[in-house]
């Protein structure tokens, strides 16, 4: 399977002098095309920083990051912006939407920069995605007129508009109730089944158990990995227990 992302001995620190803190300590990681991975670890372990480094949102201090055969470490800010917009999708715990735009307009906004002459095609794709995730009837709603789960589904639609190679999710279910979180994970599973790689940062064992590979972090390092078979929909409890056992064994 082709490697989509390669992180080679990456180091990232914050602060200066006596207050400098190494957040990523020579981390090496690979993510293949079409993979479904999770990153877990205690607060401050470096899991979100790893995602930001691998997506080019943060520049690393040492080492290198290669995405889709191109080195992010040496790319300009404009090049990084283009890569993130056209080849990556992002879903965060709190979706960042513009209050003066309705749901549909928020979804299509990032795609308009490169496709102003194809507005009808953009709208057609956005509406198809909204139908797929169950929010087709909300396109004219303001962002204050929908639930957190519905807003998160709109965020997923937006992340898929440019057909990215990978979706990065930073605690994408963290602000949702259990039912909404399950629905969001169903959507991520469907996206991955279609061939898009998904990388989720999470503290939730139920979320991680839905993925196929889990990387566990502690003190800026990946200290363990757990590979899981394809999720079949009936074995969640057993998978969660495997995740919890692994966490206890490595002390996180």
Above 70 in pLDDT, residue 252? yes
- Rounded average pLDDT over 75-89: 94
* Spatial distance between the Cα atoms of 30 and 186, rounded to a whole number of angstroms: 24
Element (H, E) at 247: helix 236-250
Above 80 in pLDDT, residue 60? yes
Say if domain 3-250 classifies as CATH 2.40.50.100. Answer: no
- H helix intervals, 10-136: 47-54, 77-87, 103-112, 119-132
| Residue 240 CA from chain centroid, whole number | 20
CB 48 within 8 Å of CB 170:
yes
Tell me phi and psi for residue 156, to 5 degrees. -65, -40
CB 168 within 8 Å of CB 83:
no
- Reduced to 3 states (helix: H, G, I; strand: E, B; else coil), residue 75 is coil
Can you give the pLDDT at residue 116? 67
- Rounded average pLDDT over 137-156: 94
Taking the domains of the chain in order of start, what are their residue ranges?
A: 3-250
Above 70 in pLDDT, residue 115? no
Can you give the pLDDT at residue 118? 82
First to last CA, the chain: 31
Mean pLDDT computed over every residue of the chain: 93
């Amino acid at each position: 399977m082709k490697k989509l992302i390669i992180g080679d001995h990456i180091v990232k620190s914050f602060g200066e002098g006596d207050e400098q803190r190494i957040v990523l300590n020579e981390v090496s990681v690979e993510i293949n095309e079409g993979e479904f991975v999770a990153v877990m670890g205690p607060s401050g372990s470096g899991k979100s920083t790893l995602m930001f480094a691998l997506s080019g949102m943060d520049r690393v201090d040492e080492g290198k990051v290669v995405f889709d055969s191109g080195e992010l470490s040496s790319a300009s800010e404009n090049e990084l912006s283009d890569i993130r917009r056209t080849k990556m999708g992002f879903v965060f715990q709190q979706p960042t939407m513009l209050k003066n735009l309705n749901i549909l307009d928020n979804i299509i906004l990032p795609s308009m920069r490169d496709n102003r002459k194809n507005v009808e095609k953009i709208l057609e794709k956005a509406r198809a995605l909204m139908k797929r995730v169950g929010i087709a009837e909300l396109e004219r709603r303001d962002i204050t007129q929908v639930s957190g789960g519905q807003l998160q589904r709109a965020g997923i639609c937006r992340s898929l508009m440019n057909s990215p190679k990978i979706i990065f999710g930073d605690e994408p279910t963290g602000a949702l109730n259990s039912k909404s979180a399950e629905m969001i994970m169903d959507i991520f599973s469907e996206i991955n089944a279609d061939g898009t790689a998904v990388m989720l940062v999470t503290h939730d064992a139920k979320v991680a158990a839905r993925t196929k590979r889990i990387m566990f972090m502690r003190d800026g390092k990946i200290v363990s990995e757990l590979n899981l078979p394809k999720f079949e929909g009936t074995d969640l409890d057993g998978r969660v227990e495997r995740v919890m056992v692994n966490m206890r064994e490595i002390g996180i």
